[in-house]
Amino acid sequence: MQEYKPFKEGKVREVYDLSESLLIVATDRISAFDVILKNDVPDKGKILTQMSKFWFDFTKDVVKNHMESTETADLPEFFQNDRFEGRSMKCKKLSMLPIECIVRGYITGTGWASYQESGKVCGIDLPAGLVESDKLPEPIYTPTTKAELGLHDEHITFEESVTLLEKQYPGKGADYAAKIRDLTIALYRKCADYAREKGIIIADTKFEFGLDENGEVVLGDEMLTPDSSRFWPADSYQPGQGQPSFDKQFVRDYLKAHPEADYKLPADIVEKTVAKYREAYQLLTGKAFVS
Ligand SMILES: Nc1ncnc2c1ncn2[C@@H]1O[C@H](COP(=O)(O)OP(=O)(O)O)[C@@H](O)[C@H]1O
Ligand SMILES: [Mg+2]
């Protein structure tokens, strides 16, 4: 049997090279305040993989995506076991565009800080009088570079994204830049409207696109999981203050109250957190998560 090693280990996901395809495996690792915690959250990786699958299916009429299969039966023998079951997505290998496509529907985090200082977020003028966590009149596109390992992604304007892509794809950069911006907004609108009806506010999120062998723009990476997005519970939404995270509220509250815990969570916090991931999955898909 051929053995495989991930060629890339992110904080939370592992990526394997299957020549024509990639295999993205979501582990049960969880991060909070930019630190990987000492506990795993059982089933988190499976739930997030199935959530991405749901969204890729939900938006396949908006844009082609990289998902090929989430069945281990479609994978080499090495992967046909419990370790990979449910948490693996076989994806079409793409040539990734060097932009993180961020879209914000609500004002929070660094966006809120920047608005208070200048009335702008990433160079975009916003109406006066917004309060923290307000819904924006229209979702805004605030791309960043995709930094090399260890460096921070940097905010760029739309025009800078054109320049960056023109450099890499002469004569086509402007088209690609406009296309990924428009797709980002369209995907966000469709999915955030849907999620809002189901009781989850998707305050912001990040998409990544790549090119297939025909130069067509295809949606890649993970899609609209709580790891790539800010999910808020809609029932307690109250502008004028920060909102609790849908999934990490117990984790963050615990870590703040227990700095001595050194990023290790007690069992009840882990259990409550698993329950939040299950709840998000069920609210969004209408189905209970079965592991
Ligand atoms: N279809 C794809 N083809 C090629 N690369 C992809 C595809 N989908 C996602 N990727 C890349 O795989 C990597 C996944 O790594 P990830 O776990 O997110 O770590 P990080 O974001 O820290 O690099 C990212 O670099 C992402 O751009
Ligand atoms: Mg990533």
Mean pLDDT of 150-175: 94
Pocket test for ligand 1, best of 96, 145, 148 (most atoms within 8 A of CB): 96
**Residues 21, 121: one domain?**
no
- Is 80 exceeded by the pLDDT of residue 4? yes
Provide the pLDDT for residue 231.
98
Provide the pLDDT for residue 197.
98
Domain for residue 148, yes or no? yes
- Cα gap 83→236, rounded to integer Å: 37
Q: CB count, 10 Å around CB of 90?
A: 21
Domain for residue 241, yes or no? no
Pocket test for ligand 1, best of 11, 15, 227 (most atoms within 8 A of CB): 15
- Cα gap 269→273, rounded to integer Å: 6
Mean pLDDT of 34-38: 95
**Residues 134, 218: one domain?**
yes
With 0.85 as the threshold, say if the pTM is over it: yes
Instruction: Provide the CATH number for the domain around residue 29.
Output: 3.30.200.20
- Cα gap 34→181, rounded to integer Å: 27
Residues 218-241 as b or e (16 or more Cβ within 10 Å = b): bbbbbbbbbbbbbbbbbeeeeeee
User: Which pLDDT tens digit goes with each residue over 229-272?
Assistant: 999 999 999 999 999 999 999 999 999 999 999 999 999 999 99
* Size (the chain), residues: 291
Domain for residue 120, yes or no? yes
Give the phi and the psi of residue 47 in degrees, each rounded to 5: -65, -40
What range defines the domain where residue 44 resides? Answer: 8-93+250-281
Provide the pLDDT for residue 152.
86
- Summary mean pLDDT of the chain: 97
Is there an atom of ligand 1 within 6 Å of 101 CB? no
**Residues 213, 106: one domain?**
yes
Residue with more model confidence, 291 or 189: 189
Q: How many domains does the chain have?
A: 2
Instruction: Provide the CATH number for the domain around residue 111.
Output: 3.30.470.20
Is there an atom of ligand 1 within 6 Å of 227 CB? no
What pLDDT band is residue 149 in, cutting at 50, 70 and 90? Answer: confident
- Cα gap 280→269, rounded to integer Å: 17
Which residue has its alpha carbon closest to ligand 1 atom 21? Answer: 10
What one-character DSSP code corresponds to residue 212? -
What whole-number percentage of the chain has pLDDT above 90? 96
